[in-house]
Amino acid sequence: MQQTGSREPQRIAKLLARAGVASRRDIERMIAEGRIAVNGSVIDTPATLLTSLHGVTVDGEAVQAAALARLFLFHKPAGVLTAARDPGGRATIYDRLPPDLPRLMPVGRLDLNTEGLLLMTTDGELKRQLELPSTGVERAYRARAYGAVTQEQLESLIEGVEIEGVRYGPIDANLERRTGANVWIEMILTEGKNREVRRVLEFLGLRVSRLIRTRYGPFVLADLPEGAIGEVRQHDLVAFRQSLGRGRAKEVAREQPIAVQGGAPARLPRSRPEQPPRERAPRPATPTPRPARPSAGTQKASARPERPPRPATAATLQKSGGAAPSASRARGPVRKPEVREELDTRPVAGEPTARAPRPKKGVGWAKAKPKARPTKPRRPRS
């Protein structure tokens, strides 16, 4: 990675773009307007070579040295322009970004109706490396199109195709599935020319109804919500830039995908003031013995009040043999088992039959016998 403070002379537009002032095109426009000066002298050409930004001012303010490059992943919604401003008043990506972010530049562009992953960085040099076809950074798209196409037609795109005098490079296209009259197609390319995916599919007789970019190099869209933005960790970005220098961008992109979580940009945790340790009371050398806890049976016995003895009645005196009940029999006299007397229920001549006594309910209960009818004495035969 080229450092801003190196002794190798570089164009002033490149240095200012790396410092996050503006894009190279905007810097060239600012130079033509006379807004940039070096050591107090206004420059008039973007070809001015410098070794550092020392003494460079923009609108009279000194330019700070370039900080570490930062990279963000943004899920661009459909119907939003990839531009800083629109003369027609349409919504742009900067209208959807949080206001507390640094100045970000989009890496490449997505059409108005194209959605998906959009890389945004603070470093103009990193932006240039990611956009150049010579670095071989892959872009993956998923397209929903109306019409009929075969896998053989899609495989023919691997050799490139020329449409209306424009030559498009190799495209790795695969048919994912069919849903009624529509087809879903995955396409991987390395150039990313203007409306390349749409024009190639229209050349095959298809009409694109939805286009999503799912990957840019090793950076994937994953589950990033629509309209959300997340920052790539610094060590992942450094490892990716090293792979670009070794020409291993394709291998790293397929082996180690990088995703981020949606929400606010990553921030360092807030430092909390140090608090003195809490003073704890010293424990006693001999622990205080706890009172014995009564058992459950003891608690129930103590909680239940004693019943007073019942007064002696004639019935209880007769059953107990004339003695009054003691305190141990406070809950009532003991019932003695009843003795049933067997009665002779056979009918006797000349006397009505007596009804048998019915046993008490609960003690030897049985079904009552049928009633016996009285019989008349027979008259002797003459």
For the annotated catalytic residues, the residue numbers are 111
Burial class (CB in 10 A: 0-12, 13-18, 19+), 209: exposed
Query: Is the Cβ–Cβ distance between 106 and 147 less than 8 Å?
Result: no
Spatial separation of the C-alpha atoms in residues 300 and 303, rounded to whole Å: 5
Spatial separation of the C-alpha atoms in residues 321 and 336, rounded to whole Å: 12
Query: Which tokens belong to 337?
Result: 């088992």
| Nearest partner of 138 among 231, 229, 252, judged by Cα | 252
Q: What angle do CA 204, 209, 210 make, to 5 degrees?
A: 110
Spatial separation of the C-alpha atoms in residues 240 and 253, rounded to whole Å: 9
Query: Is the Cβ–Cβ distance between 238 and 68 less than 8 Å?
Result: no
* Cα-Cα-Cα-Cα dihedral sign, residues 131, 132, 133, 137: negative
Query: Is the Cβ–Cβ distance between 105 and 131 less than 8 Å?
Result: no
Query: Which tokens belong to 141?
Result: 């798209």
| Nearest partner of 336 among 323, 318, 321, 319, judged by Cα | 319
Spatial separation of the C-alpha atoms in residues 8 and 49, rounded to whole Å: 9
Strands (E), 198-278: 207-216, 219-220, 229-231
In angstroms, the Cα distances linking 43 to 11, 38, 135, 148, 334 are 12, 7, 33, 58, 124
| Nearest partner of 201 among 170, 136, 157, judged by Cα | 157
3-class DSSP state of 362: coil
DSSP 45-70: -TT-EESS-TTEEETTEEPPPP----
Helix (H) / strand (E) containing 72 = strand 71-76
